[in-house]
A and B are shown apart, each in its own frame.
Chain A
Amino acid sequence: MTFVREADYGTPASKAEARVTLEIDGREVTVPAGTSIMRAARESGVNVPKLCATDMLEAFGSCRLCLVEIEGRDGTPASCTTPVAPGMKVRTQTPLLHDLRRGVMELYISDHPLDCLTCPTNGDCELQDMAGAVGLREVRYGYTGENHLEEPKDESNPYFTFDGSKCIVCSRCVRACEEVQGTFALTIEGRGFDSKVKASAADPFFESECVSCGACVQACPTATLSEKSLIEIGTPEHSVVTTCAYCGVGCAFRAEMRGEQVVRRIPHKDGKANRGHSCVKGRFAWGYATHRERVLKPMIRAKASDPWQEVSWDEAIQHAASEIRLIQAKYGKAAVGGVTSSRCTNEETYLVQKLVRAGFGVNNVDTCARVCHSPTGYGLKTTFGTSAGTQDFDSVEHTDVMIVIGANPTDAHPVFASRMKKRLRQGAKLIVIDPRRIDLVKTPHIEAAHHLPLRPGTNVAVLTALAHVVVTEGLADEAFIRERCDWDGFQAWAAFVAEERWSPEALESATGVPAAEVRAAARLYATGGNGAIYYGLGVTEHSQGATAVMAIANLAMATGNIGRPGVGVNPLRGQNNVQGACDMGSFPHELSGYRHISDDNARAIFESLWNVKLDDEPGLRIPNMLDAAIDGSFKGIYIQGEDILQSDPNTKHVAEGLSAMECVIVHDLFLNETANYATVFLPGSTFLEKNGTFTNAERRIQRVRRVMSPLNGYEDWEITQLLSNALGYPMRYTHASQIMDEIYESAPTHRLPYSPTALRKENASRLWPKETQPHG
């Protein structure tokens, strides 16, 4: 584990298929057409000096360090803005270029504070690197000329500072805010020597439109924009690639470390979900791991009204196990259950359901996805055969028309929203179906073609009206449907949606959406090229949630918008591992891999693996467990990483249910609201303290790597294992990967190709069920 900086190729990769061969410094290089000379050089191992170029941003050509000479061409073009051409002969190091680069560096340094030794980015500064690379030996201008050394610092942002005296006006921050994040909060104010980076026309950063995503900080080649943690702690000495635990986007990060202390988190450019970008939470908000309110010692109490009592792990586990066994002895085996967490790893989720099914001996296991995306699971499995979305995130780069229904990506999935916005700025059209005027409806350089502000509760009506237009206006893709769908089923559906009562006009009074807008939106989606639907909890968290999901799937199939990049049905999952938690058999009726508990073959696999007899009847869902608790037949629950009192509907009912239980075991980082009803509290570990995998909204399985020892003493799966062993059901895992091995073993390979070997590879991630080749 050493600190390795990610390679920067200077300009983004070209997606062209045609390849071009040229010569750089006497070496033949073959790259995709449209590649910059700079990138081609880097790919062949030649580093051209640069400051304003980074492969996260389009070429800009302002620093003038990357000049090269091209045989047969006049002048010294910038290698970042000049594309390769067949047979081109480029020289990146000549006496002339040496002089010019020195000349440019001499200018830079004549307006830069010479405080390298005390600068927070000492040793990690591109300006410093370049001074070395170009061989700067003196600054003949002296340091008495006009300069910016007295520029004030802006420390208003809680996570980073802006030190104008160190700014080289490369515009990387401004461009990152525009191109990567799409917020357009930063600009260059003034001209010439007076050019200065400003946030929202000279507001302090924190009061500006800045959303603190940190893309500017990452882009800054100097110490101008620096993380406050870096300033405070110092430069990192090693880094570990891991996966963010906040939302369903699943951003890959490099945790940059100093010993076991996180210095900063830098989004990983190789991250297939985030492509090097992050949001404020992922990048800056990991402080909860060491927050003073985090509980690190196990606690028990006789009654929920008693004060907590810190105990040893051994005592807590023995107490919890004996409570479970006592309840089972007194009220029957089925009087207990468990809840898995969409915030924990696949391995941990799998282990909790295993504990419940094999250790408790019941199928009373459920997960927090119960209240969010279980309609997605049901709806997509019914329509497409698999409980998952159809696309990866990269697909959005090929989308021509986006429909966003019941989701607010800029708030809830900001990193993916930035990718959506990028595509929209490139010209893709947008249809928003949401009662709210979400940011995407009108945001810098983006305006929705149609916003259908429907009345809450009328999702299915609007979707049916859209289908009505598609069918009655002849916009259905018959060839696609005949080849890929059930033609008879389609006809029955078409006949239904074509009924006049489902026309936009007939439904207008119910939905509140002008019929003309519905018609225009349907036409755009059906005829505007690749159409993709993105939806969120505004669709699923309804009594008609599954129906709406199926209506969405039908709309996509009817218009042929399935089965290629740029189209599809895309649930935007809320928590980081909703998909994984569902995959791992967290539902009472399904074993991992969505195999029904009544399926004898499936059960046989697990019975032999787990060495137990499994109940063939589905167990209780969370609401049923609570009902049963109020009825007096359900008395004990083990809840890992979920605050059901806060997240489940009808808080009063949840509270009554929890109060009626005799043993509530809460396994979490903090004393959450549910813990008010608990008698056992098992302190959990953060994602920084554990190994395992998360599966994001695009079904990408990504590694979570332990970067620091668990402050509570154990990774979460170890705690589940302790409990299981105390219950008398032995578990003998010594590493999370052994759980993954078991998951793999239990899964028919064609359904769930988790390959532990591939996943263990550095930075590897896998998509299931479609992807067969390792992705990393």
Chain B
Amino acid sequence: MSSQALDLLTSQDYKWGFVTDIEQEAIPPGLNEDIIHLIAAKKVEPEWMLDWRLKAYRYWQRLEKSEAEPTWANVHYPPIDYQNIVYYSAPKAKDGPKSLDEVDPKLLETYEKLGIPLSEQKLLAGVAVDAVFDSVSVATTFKDKLAELGIIFCSFSEAVREHPELVRKYLGSVVPYNDNFFAALNSAVFSDGSFCYVPKGVRCPMELSTYFRINAKDTGQFERTLIIADEGSYVSYLEGCTAPRRDENQLHAAVVELIALENAQIKYSTVQNWYPGDKEGKGGIYNFVTKRGKCLGKNSKISWTQVETGSAITWKYPSCILQGDNSIGEFYSVALTNNYQQADTGTKMIHIGKNTKSTIISKGISAGHGQNTYRGLVKILKGATGARNYSQCDSLLMGDKCGAHTFPYLEVNNSSATVEHEASTSKISEDQLFYCRQRGISAEDAVSMIVSGFCKQVFRELPMEFAVEAQKLLGVSLEGSVG
């Protein structure tokens, strides 16, 4: 492997590392019941919401006392001091902005710099955006247009106020507050996030997206996303995320719940680009996230596509509970670890209904001292007659200081099930590089091209705009060849 090419590819600057100078309103660091009361009060939440938070907090506290923070993942980091984190920080504003005209221009500028214009004249055609800045949603575009179709797309806080019946029905129905350590923490302190409901038979005409931005120092971001696709509906949802360059690690512990009713489809795509830390492994985001979808109705489908290039540590397993008969779960993933990044990521496919089907395509790329782990569970329950799974896990190693690990778990309790697993590990060969360079392609472009070829099966699952961004993130000049 040409070290020159590697250096070029892997030394690209993190372009999103700037800090927005804006007056923030934050609560003191630390976590206790008073803090939770304070968060709930700031958000003017109903009693039931506060009760739920407190239940979650008490559960989390028990776990913390018994040192039950999960340690099974193949990642290593010093203990996190949960009393040292600020759990709520928001740009100062009198009231929540009523329209985009009222959003602080500094925030608009920030998102514009990130390539996510929010102002009416510059909106991305065909993409509605909910912009989350630290602990709060600062703007949601195309809301009215979507409302005409009965689609609800708003911040989580607004949903709690305006659509409590839907939130109460589904909140925690896929990821209960006591699901795991980080999910419990999130349930206690989550401050905002996105909410989406697509009514019966409606095909959402545009991509919905949330752009998460961490800005404030010493702050954790704990958001929740809840998406409900009612019978026969379809929605494609995207999320993106970036954070400033800082020497301290920051915690991001999100929860995403998806619910697909009969014949509904949810396509959920992520381009995760949190600050990964510097070349020596200093700083970066700890991305400890619980994402799960439930195919509740017959013939429903949930598809996860993720491109994970950021974060110092990623701990994340977007999963599908295939409850409805004939339901389908998909997981397409590219995870890149460079320098001292660590990723332990994969999926769980839980087959409950008959003739349920799942596909797992995982592509891990390790460079520098990066450590990349695929961890996946395929579980076929007794009643899941005719269930099928296909898993493919490929690893690409760049250099000789990085690592790739694969932990596939299989539990099959129905003899009619078909489960296939394929795995491969490869390196970019000198021969491939030389072949490209002999054709006039620079070493840097050659590496990008080979890497993006390796990821193609996943990239083609992304909506076009995101495929472009994802390729760029991997250092690729696109030239219109995706798909």
A interacts with B: no
